[in-house]
Amino acid sequence: MGATDSTNGSIRKDHAYVLNTVLRRNKKALVHNYKYGFSGFAARLSKDEANSIAQEPGVVSVFPNPTLKLHTTRSWDFLKLQTCVKIDSTFSNSSSSSNVVIGMLDSGIWPEAESFSDNGMGPIPPGWKGICMTSDDFNASNCNRKIIGARYYPDGNDDVTITARDKAGHGTHTASTAAGNVVSGASYYGLATGTAKGGSPESRLAIYKVCYNHGCLGSSILAAFDDAISDGVNVLSISLGGDPDPEPDLTEDVIAIGAFHAVEHGILVVCSAGNAGPRYSTVTNDAPWILTVGATTIDRSLQSNIVLGNNKVVKGEAINLSPLSKSADYPLITGESAKATNADSAKARKCHRNSLDKKKIKGNIVICDGINDDDDDDDDYRTIKKIAIVKDLGGLGLVHITDKEEADADSYGDFPATIVRSKDDATILQYVNSTRNPKATILPTTTVIDYKPAPMVAIFSSRGPSALSKNIIKPDIAAPGAAILAAWTGIHNDETIIPKGKILSPYNIISGTSMSCPHVSGLAASIKSKNPTWSPSAIKSAIMTSATQINNMKAPITTDLGSVATPYDYGAGEITTTESFQPGLVYETTTMDYFNYLCYIGLNPTTIKMISKTVPKNFSCPEDATPDRISNINYPSIAISKFTGKEIVNVSRTVTNIGEEDETVYSAIVDVPNGVKVQLIPEKLEFTKSRKTKNLLLLMKLAWHAVFRIAAAEAPVDGRDTQPALRGARVHCYIYVVAFCSRKREKVERFHGFFTNNKARVLEDFSWVISRVGGIIVTPWKHLLVEFLGHEKRFGKMVGRN
């Protein structure tokens, strides 16, 4: 996808030639023609035709039309509580208007939602070029001074009604999170009651409907980018993406392509990181010109507890309006005890389909084990699926024991279902095994405020490192994305559960990095409104460098499973809503940085010049254009993948003073892991009226190496006998630059490696040296944490230091 010749919609000669060639063969072949922000088109082609076009001069890439997917009140108040600095006139609570426009690439909008009223807003910003596309169910009056533009993109499916109206709810939810008005008394059937508001209530919304029931077509996404660039949006919020495995080549990644040209045109692009966590290296939308957002919890817990017959209460988390009595009057059984004849006991324990006896299930609350469901590669048994199984068999309720879903609180309507963590299951199982007639009840959900600790990195949030480049930390930032209340569609759909006797709620509580992305988009729009001259990279830098890594207990932020979070979990940390308006210094990542980045990942100058018309005519790739050089693009974070300690590593940065004081001095405070030395040159940065930027150099080296011998393990792994010593041992390290070794790339909560058959497969990019002989590990850190079957033990017997 190359650049256009101009900004007026004219297309390049090579673009026109190839397009005309296609249309001469088939006049109906054209699907979209991209001409405002970049040059390209989408067309119906045979494989041979696509291969032929790929050989034409000026063509950067030709690839199949991908289908991407959506990354599916209290949050803003919580973010304010987390701030360390109070600054006047920063984060907006009002419904006054600004000229900042947030473009939403999503499933459309429900314009009648109270969050999108334009009461009190001024006229549409001058220079706005967007349109309001109408349809049978969406007329011109559905656009207003809040929703100032609405477009939709036909996906070729004749069964889908073409309209900007949101039938799914996702687009309405994200739009109201980013820029919804202040609405008091919002709740989901009485839960999470409070004032609903977006991150930037004063901003305008431009809607680009690219997603339908089957997903989000890449050709439509690129068309929306192209239109948004021409329309005049300031921030693009994109809560969708592809699968992390395999990640597409950068020249075939529709979001990376569209975002690159949007950023070139001064638009900040904010994207969700994906919902494939906690497995490592699952982050998507990870190009350096994108602000990539992971998800965290807030200090509100939606609890549905279990009361046992012995009066003990076990914490559960879910959204349900259980009609059961609050007394423990209902029979309680395990799935295994209701095993069907000839069924597998393990599958019955997990409540898998066709493993349970209907007569034994009927009228009982059923305990289902979900701890090891990942072992069944061909099945996805989330709580909602197990509810369907138990409910079909006449079950009265369900207790799902799993560590995979708690922060991702789904709504189960009025069916009594709740999720219990594995650390709490012993209380339930001991009670069941202690009596011949165990009983319990599941209480309806209640809202618990000021929950601690918070934030935590949500279990579903995709993790780094980036598969695109390990020399840039991704995600960039984290924001609330678990159990977020926001506006919803006004029609009943497959994703909506309406409890008996209730009407459809105008709000919904859902989770995902889809929800965290618009939090950052809203914050960015408010920053842009207060600082209209700031570039996209300055806003990105301000948000990242002002983030916090501390929770509401004044301790380091952890993951949802309890381990201390790392930059591969949350990037720079959790957003703050005041410090980011006055960051003092920013890292301006320029288009030249991005051109050099393209060199470093292997593109040549000729291709780069086809991609962008702003490339200088005399541009050439830097000498030694290798992936290692990516660490030196002027990014607001630093990652070094090959850090062996054998030599000093130099990393340079340029900072710009945008603080209130022209004459000012900044002194550095460097906090590094033990065993690593960092020198900053200069140690002080002095700025004047005439000198707003300063270059700095960081010199990094290892202070020492420590050698540890890992003790032999005798515990079996997954029920199988170990061969010698270290099969299945999980090695954790509390550090930013680490080795990953994996048996089957299973999910992780901290950086770790797996030993198999007394040896380890180590990715070359990382700094550990793991010896095959005797399980000796050479590392610059003081201790390792080794975990066998979930039991942690520290090993610190030092056998050498050099």
Exactly one of 71, 98, 106, 612 is catalytic; name it.
106
Q: Is the dihedral of CA 89, 90, 92, 93 positive or negative?
A: negative
Enumerate long-range contacts of 751-754, CB under 8 Å, 24 or more apart.
Answer: 751/280, 751/566, 751/568, 754/728, 754/729, 754/730
Distance CA 507, CA 510 (A): 10
Residues 175 and 109 sit within 8 Å (Cβ to Cβ):
yes
The three-state secondary structure class of 484 is strand
Residues 515-530 as b or e (16 or more Cβ within 10 Å = b): bbbbbbbbbbbbbbbb
Write out 28-56 in H/E/C secondary structure. Answer: CCEEEEECCCCEEEEECCCHHHHHHHHCC
Sequence letter at residue 298 = I
User: Chain-centre distance of CA 44, in angstroms?
Assistant: 32
791 backbone dihedrals φ, ψ, rounded to 5°: -100, 120
Exactly one of 514, 516, 631, 767 is catalytic; name it.
514
Write out 553-585 in H/E/C secondary structure. Answer: CCCECEECCCCECCHHHHCCCECCCCHHHCCCE
564 backbone dihedrals φ, ψ, rounded to 5°: -65, 130
Sequence letter at residue 449 = I
Q: Is the dihedral of CA 447, 81, 277, 64 positive or negative?
A: positive
- Token pair, residue 316, equals 């559960």
- Sequence-ordered list of residues with C-beta below 8 angstroms from that of 20, at least 6 positions apart, any chain: none
170 is a catalytic site residue: yes
Exactly one of 170, 400, 519, 732 is catalytic; name it.
170
Give start and end residues of each alpha helix (H) in 382-509: 383-392, 425-434
DSSP string of 190-245, one letter each residue: TEEEEEE--S-TTSEEEEEE-EETTEEEHHHHHHHHHHHHHHT-SEEEE-EE--SS
Residues 331 and 365 sit within 8 Å (Cβ to Cβ):
yes
| Beta pairing partners, 238 | 105, 271
514 is a catalytic site residue: yes
Query: Percentage helix, strand, coil, to 5, in the chain?
Result: 20, 25, 55
Q: Where are the beta strands (DSSP E) in 658-751?
A: 664-667, 676-681, 684-687, 693-702, 706-709, 730-732
Region for residue 545 given its phi and psi (left: phi exceeds 0; alpha: psi -120 to 50; beta: otherwise):
alpha
Region for residue 227 given its phi and psi (left: phi exceeds 0; alpha: psi -120 to 50; beta: otherwise):
alpha
Residues 552 and 210 sit within 8 Å (Cβ to Cβ):
no
Residues 415 and 391 sit within 8 Å (Cβ to Cβ):
yes
- Inter-axis angle of helices 513-530 and 170-179, to 10 degrees? 30
Label the pairing between strands 147-152 and 204-209.
Answer: parallel
- Token pair, residue 112, equals 């009648």
Sequence letter at residue 69 = K
Residues 245 and 579 sit within 8 Å (Cβ to Cβ):
no
Distance CA 360, CA 499 (A): 26
Residue 524 carries which DSSP code? H
Catalytic residues: 106, 170, 514
